Structure 1
Amino acid sequence: MELWSSIPKEVINFVLVLLFSFSLGMEQHKQSIANTDKKVFGTDRTFTFFGLLGYVLLLPSKDQLWPFLIGFVVIACFMMIFYLMRIREDGQYGLTTVMLGLLVYTFPLLIDRSPLWISLLIFVVVLILAEIKKPLQNLSAQVSETEFITLAKFITIAFIVLPSLPNEDLSPMIPVSPYRIWLAVVVVSAVSYFSYLLRRYMFPKASLILSGILGGLYSSMVTTIILAKQSKEKKYSPQMYAGAIIIASAMMYFRVYVLLFIFNRDLALASWLYFLLLFLVSMTTGYFLYKRGEKVHGDKTAAFSNSNPLEFKVAVVFAGLYLLFSAVTQFMVTQFGAAGLTALSFIVGFTDITPFLLNLFQGHYSITSTMVLIATMQVMVSNNILKCAYARLWSTVETTKWTWRGFGIVIALNVAVILLLYLL
């Protein structure tokens, strides 16, 4: 650190400018070799000279930028002549080379006037974007027109609707504010949206086990139903389908813990060992079943629905359920105490558990943190029992048998954790 601080800032800036300019020049040189029909404006040395010119013109007159601006105009004119000639002779309209040349020239100003981390971040982003043209083109070909609407929906609910909501409790019987209700919607939507993007664009042809992991991040219940239905196609052995279902439920423990950590960090830090144990045992059980099974026929991919996870009506329903569970939980706790919460958590496990859990994690109820954790564990036991019922309803008899065996281990451990919490 002492050695770094002893190096003059001008020397560091000069080295970074040289490295940035030469790197982009090398990238352009590689593009010219790979695409002989594509004309580029100079390569290694030209781009390095651009950066050095910007550095030299900026160095003696940092308070007066007119020499630097004149140099920018001159470079821009040369780039414009090159661009027009390329259009006339070859019909090439791409602006990448022009923009890279201008970015190289302005980098000395950026590194002089901005924090170092900002300059390095832009450095990295430009290098990556210049290098991954082909993957970006392939990604663009896969993106449908509805994806931008989906992104706009997420931005709307997260950065427009949420900040505008009041953060005051609705009433003594409903001890949550509109802001906290919608915050829960935003967090769940973010997790679901991230899982959706991974599944659709990063792993569009995911293996069965990876489909269980990614699907479990989105919804272990939905994933259980999909895998149970797919088991009738018999592309894989029953043990493999059962293992993927158990793995999806293992992701439920991970997902619930992430939500707990976001909304109730103290309780999350106090209970991490229980969630880790349940997660590891579930993953191990699912993986053991998966590896035990042998694929019968077909390919190594599992087709999953790529439905939009950010439908507005889904968000409204989630907010309504959150509000309902808030009122019901407040009533049960007020009237029946811990026993009422235990009974309610068992019943809620057979519905959508996320609104109830988020309300529980955020709510200000007159119950101990231990009872909150017990209710959380209880609701996941009930939810796993419901998945066993769905597996019996939608899958083959053989898949159901192995699924029930896997869930038997997971549910037994979950119940043991609940009993341990009661004893503490």
Structure 2
Amino acid sequence: MPDFAGDPMVTDLVHLAVALAIGFLIGFEREHSHAEEARKHTFAGARTFTLTAVAGGLSGIVDEGLVLPSILLISIAGLTAAAYWATAREKPGAGGTTEIALLLTFLLGVAAVRDHVLEAAIGGVATAIILSIKQSVERWATALSEQELYAALRLLAISVIILPILPDEPFGPYNALNLRDIWLMVVFISGLSFLGYWLIRFAGSGRGVLLTGFAGGLASSTATTLSLSRFVKRGVAPSELAAGIVAANVMMLIRIGVLVAALARDVLLALAPALIVAALAGGAGILWLRRGGETPANDEAVLELGNPMEIKPALIFAALLAVISVAASFGAEQFGQSGLMLVALISGLADVDAITLIAGRKAAGGEIEMMAAAYAIMIAAASNIILKAGMASVVGGRALGVRVGAVFAAMITAGAVALLAF
């Protein structure tokens, strides 16, 4: 039996077969899509796309340069433009997706025989997928509000445009500031908030206060506590609301773990027992609060988290991060660990993420001890939780405040014991 391994002719045939498969796949998707839309006359279907891909492959084999592929591409583009013009005259506003896909199919056919067979295959499958999700894209575009679209664009702007151009050098008092590090943390927090926002957007508060609490805690446990506390006036049972508020703050502990893991794994090892035990205490508290069964939440009650990607809150967080960073450096240098703990206690009343990021980063850089960072983070978390217990009591009333305060006290105590024990 002859050995065809390494035979150029066999290689060309295999690559040409890949080009054919790419054309048929894209063409079959177009054929199916046109059938779904009940089109009687279409510009190109499975056969046209397959032949176009084969033409691209053959032109790439016959001419190792670009002359023949270019001539064929121009010819196909001319026929495609003429067909689109005729279609547009009969049906104004017609899209050109199929026409563009045909030109792309030709290029993929050329690529398949030019030592880019894997890239061509991936491109062919990706093209077919993109073409097939038309209805889903239209639904998403219709469901997406202008505010949400701008939020997504802002997230891309702060991460893709702003972050890379910021200088990566320490400056300021105690060299405690680094613009790129600060903005990276803004991007990280904004990304988590954005994810939490969409979890709430798709889950909806009408599916249960507890689910809303878990999803809302990923975006903002403080905002979730405030919003759920207001639901008392809408007739939702205090025990259910308390369970949702506790769930949001359990998510806060998980969020702290994620932030620390991204910055200093050694600190996470020291902090993990306290976070886990406190979260378990919170979980037990949720079961205790819900022992009487679920009271359905008002379907019209919407969690008031607002837009997670407004520029002003992002800038405020960046400024807060910078201030706490300088304060933490000052406190640690002037008063040692006790100064850092005081900064954590005070800053935790405003935001637990900022001190978590700063303590983790300083521990990773060797500026403070690992356990000092762990203590500072837990003090900030305890301070933040105590503030939210008071918030629930003031906004939601005594019945809600007592329930939330009892579980929060158990969480803080359990976390403290675990941190000291381990």
Q: TM-score range by the shorter chain?
A: 0.7 to 0.9
Q: Are the counterparts in 2 of residues 166 and 178 from structure 1 also a CA contact under 8 Å? A: yes
Instruction: Quote how far apart the aligned CAs of 1:275 are.
Output: 3.6
Instruction: Quote how far apart the aligned CAs of 1:369 are.
Output: 0.5
Equivalent position of 1:18 in the other structure: 20
Aligned-partner Cα distance in 2 for 1:13–1:284: 61
Correspondence 1:362-401 to 2 at 5 A? 362-363=361-362, 364=365, 366-401=367-402
Aligned-partner Cα distance in 2 for 1:74–1:19: 22
Equivalent position of 2:164 in the other structure: 163
Q: Relative to structure 1, is the Cα distance of residues 120 and 205 closer, same or farther in structure 2, using a 3 angstrom cutoff? A: farther
- Compare 21-30 and 212-221 and name the one that shifted more: 21-30
Q: How many residues align?
A: 413
Equivalent position of 1:43 in the other structure: 45
Percentage of identical aligned residues: 27
Q: Relative to structure 1, is the Cα distance of residues 394 and 79 closer, same or farther in structure 2, using a 3 angstrom cutoff? A: same
Q: Are the counterparts in 2 of residues 237 and 293 from structure 1 also a CA contact under 8 Å? A: no
Q: Are the counterparts in 1 of residues 250 and 282 from structure 2 also a CA contact under 8 Å? A: yes
Aligned-partner Cα distance in 2 for 1:151–1:42: 35
Q: Are the counterparts in 2 of residues 174 and 323 from structure 1 also a CA contact under 8 Å? A: no
Equivalent position of 1:311 in the other structure: 310
Q: CA RMSD in A?
A: 3.0
Q: Relative to structure 1, is the Cα distance of residues 114 and 337 closer, same or farther in structure 2, using a 3 angstrom cutoff? A: farther
Structure 1: runs of 5+ lacking an equivalent? none
Q: Relative to structure 1, is the Cα distance of residues 264 and 296 closer, same or farther in structure 2, using a 3 angstrom cutoff? A: closer
Instruction: Quote how far apart the aligned CAs of 1:194 are.
Output: 3.1
Equivalent position of 2:419 in the other structure: 418
Instruction: Quote how far apart the aligned CAs of 1:81 are.
Output: 2.7
Instruction: Quote how far apart the aligned CAs of 1:362 are.
Output: 1.8
Equivalent position of 1:178 in the other structure: 179
Amino acid corresponding to residue 29 of structure 2 in structure 1: E
Correspondence 1:73-112 to 2 at 5 A? 73-91=74-92, 93-112=94-113
Aligned-partner Cα distance in 2 for 1:409–1:302: 29
Q: Relative to structure 1, is the Cα distance of residues 216 and 71 closer, same or farther in structure 2, using a 3 angstrom cutoff? A: same
Q: Are the counterparts in 2 of residues 25 and 48 from structure 1 also a CA contact under 8 Å? A: yes
| Aligned: 1:361 with 2:363 | no
Residue aligned with 2:174, SS: coil
Q: Relative to structure 1, is the Cα distance of residues 296 and 54 closer, same or farther in structure 2, using a 3 angstrom cutoff? A: closer
Structure 2: runs of 5+ lacking an equivalent? none
Equivalent position of 1:294 in the other structure: 294
Q: Are the counterparts in 2 of residues 79 and 98 from structure 1 also a CA contact under 8 Å? A: yes
Aligned-partner Cα distance in 2 for 1:23–1:378: 59
Correspondence 1:155-304 to 2 at 5 A? 155-171=156-172, 173-200=174-201, 202-203=202-203, 207=207, 208-234=209-235, 236-268=236-268, 271-272=271-272, 274-279=274-279, 281-283=281-283, 285-286=285-286, 289-290=289-290, 292-296=292-296, 298-299=298-299, 302-304=301-303
Aligned-partner Cα distance in 2 for 1:185–1:297: 33
Residue aligned with 1:40, SS: coil
Q: Relative to structure 1, is the Cα distance of residues 154 and 297 closer, same or farther in structure 2, using a 3 angstrom cutoff? A: closer
Q: Are the counterparts in 2 of residues 247 and 287 from structure 1 also a CA contact under 8 Å? A: no
TM-score, length basis structure 2 = 0.86
CA-to-partner distance for each residue in 1:105-145, whole Å, 9 max, x for gaps? Answer: 22123445576664454334322221121121121123334
Instruction: Quote how far apart the aligned CAs of 1:149 are.
Output: 3.9
CA-to-partner distance for each residue in 1:77-116, whole Å, 9 max, x for gaps? Answer: 3322322222223335111111222222221234455766
Q: Relative to structure 1, is the Cα distance of residues 355 and 140 closer, same or farther in structure 2, using a 3 angstrom cutoff? A: same
Aligned-partner Cα distance in 1 for 2:94–2:291: 53
Instruction: Quote how far apart the aligned CAs of 1:220 are.
Output: 0.7
Aligned-partner Cα distance in 1 for 2:322–2:259: 18
Aligned-partner Cα distance in 2 for 1:76–1:230: 61
TM-score, length basis structure 1 = 0.85
